[in-house]
Amino acid sequence: MTSENNNIPLTGKLILSFMGLFTTVSPYLADWNITHIYNPTWPPHAKFHNAQTMVLGALLGLLTLYVLWIRKEVNAIQRLHEAVIIVSLYWVAQLPAILFPGTKLVDPGINHVQMPVILGVQFNQLIMDIVIVLPLILLGWYISYRKLKQTTQL
């Protein structure tokens, strides 16, 4: 006999929901300014891809929220895994982006906010991904998965 809990535990669900909201909003907060979409030195096609990236972040974040709060057709463990994969995609894609020819973390010649140095490491979007964003996603998954495994009898 199978006893199935179809609810993702609230603490992990809230952490993942926050990350979904962050994924939805943060591309616009980071890019809707002179350094990106309004950068006069960027050609129109570069701005097109910047806009595409912002929209992708919003769609992935909103899809994460849908899977966490609305989708009920599958069990909680599957929904948890779906949400974690979806919300991680935007952030994981940033990691290898610096390896492409001609890419840099900031454009020269634009006044940027000076990023802080924490423990001798210059804080940037890749450090944020590795130290904050992906660990929070992992924490949300771990809390929920552990609780689901304890309450689900197979």
The predicted structure's pLDDT at residue 118: 84
Supply the angle between the helices 44-69 and 10-31 in degrees, to the nearest 10: 170
Contacts 24+ apart (CB under 8 A), 14-17: 14/140, 15/136, 15/137, 15/139, 15/140, 15/143, 16/64, 16/68, 16/80, 16/83, 16/84, 16/87, 16/137, 16/140, 16/141, 16/144, 17/64, 17/65, 17/68, 17/69
> Would you state the pLDDT for residue 4?
55
Query: What is this structure's pTM?
Result: 0.90
Residues of the chain with pLDDT under 70: 1-5, 110-113, 153-154
Cα separation values, 118 from 26, 122, 127, 131, 137, Å: 21, 6, 10, 11, 22
Residue spans per domain, the chain: 10-151
